[in-house]
Structure 1
């Protein structure tokens, strides 16, 4: 390894321009191959031949046609009680909205839509009271008139903070039991149906009582917001790394005015990055501020200009390394050499971790080198 490092350093010193051109060319080639990356997600990406995964495949094949999924609907009230006449009206409107939506395609019977107010509504009808015309007192009397075993069966659908002796509960739960479409292996159609149902449910409400649907598919209902949040997280990580790198490579000039400029620059970059994380400013705002700070530092003093140049070069090398690792992985993977399998979550994160460790090592090495120089040793001894 030592000989290889010496060979690389000698090549760089002798033909720096050719090395730079070659590195950029390889980066473009490997970067182009990343578009053809094949990804395996789920358990098969980690252990495709494990007994557990094979068993899950068998279960899916045998019971896929009978599989179901639930959508939960939480009924809540600003007044803190959903055992009221208003809650009954919203509950019935929610049931109607569910059956009026595309969800009706996946409902086998009326029993597939139910919730915490079902026994109360049945009791009201048994007493000859129209549930939509009932008063708050009628609703509470109907609940108190339930058989104890019936009330116990539905107790799990009431809030843990409910006081059923009054009776009153701040929230109640509805469940929608939907059949999974047989011809929808990726559950794309199921998600579309649940989104359509959720839109109808959210439209129900009287300002006090509201119904809020929840399911795993609905977590990704707003793809634009999801992708924006992911982009914001990656941008925040990149800006933080950039700020850390420039602090490591910082060469402080002898001028006193430089200290104020440096402190102001770091403070401004940190504040704007924090505001971006909390969605106060757009994603590009920290980049604009960092660029402005770097330009100001470079114009102020040559030492600061060197610090900025070292930081930019390091960030460029990091991105080049990631492109190289992914491109080489594609060439070694399916469709090309076939030496390794498709990318999964583990293979995608490991190259970044390895590059991060290398950057961390270089940071510590650079910091120690400058510490030795500051102690009075010459360049050779410090190295």
Structure 2
């Protein structure tokens, strides 16, 4: 099986392949165009870590930094202008995909400032500002699924903004996200928006679940605990999909669908394998199911293209198995609720640290330009 055949099989199974990376170098070199043409990539996601890495390597941003420094732009304004420029260009690159899929794919995500993760009002305002600044219909604004983020998701959807909900770890929080989306659609309809123009994905972080639970199992150290290593992340995602199917079968969703609303597809995020003892395609091959997105770092994309296998739906009929995994985790002594609290807190903190790193990189570049 060729590289294109493997990725084509994944796409044919109903999995939209999005790249978890964007940089000006990737845009300038036409690498993104090549991935669309040759690797079935139909979308791209960004986050503060991705932009911090992009701006700290190479000279692709020098000309813009020189121009920003010349007019005395602040660090915050420079960060925003640089990131918006990249996302706007990527949206244009994906415009044909967006049109061909009737808005389902061809999406590019841009995240609100992580420092606002616990500020509903500021997140809502910035989401609308980013939507207007990028000014592309295939943008998705990323809003974290913190407790304060939930009403901001509703507010953004209610204003007709397409949203990528990020940093989802627990099934309970995921259900709250789906409720926030539906409430937002109901508000959008009341505000006169065309529901068919609004799209959303719910980014369920995968590999980080194993990265948090595995050390806890090793600390417990029993044979039963050790046998559960590497199983929690996939089980958690499978339970998320079961919750998704339950919600879209309910009367509330069916009423919205009758008005033209689109389902909020589950998105498998953080699918790069952190533990080298596990197959490098684990969080792709074991989560194949229709109506989902898998956003991959390029290394994972290449690994699947080289040796990944699509063996049919690996999610729909596995919910009971997934429940048994979590029952066993609790019986082994893992505090699952604490796991999800830690993952959300650390997820926000990591993006805040990357945002600070991004700001410091831009500050240095502006100083150098002066």
Structure with more strand by fraction: 2
Structure with more helix by fraction: 1
TM-score of the superposition, structure 1-length normalised? 0.20
- Larger C-alpha radius of gyration, 1 or 2? 1
TM-score of the superposition, structure 2-length normalised? 0.21
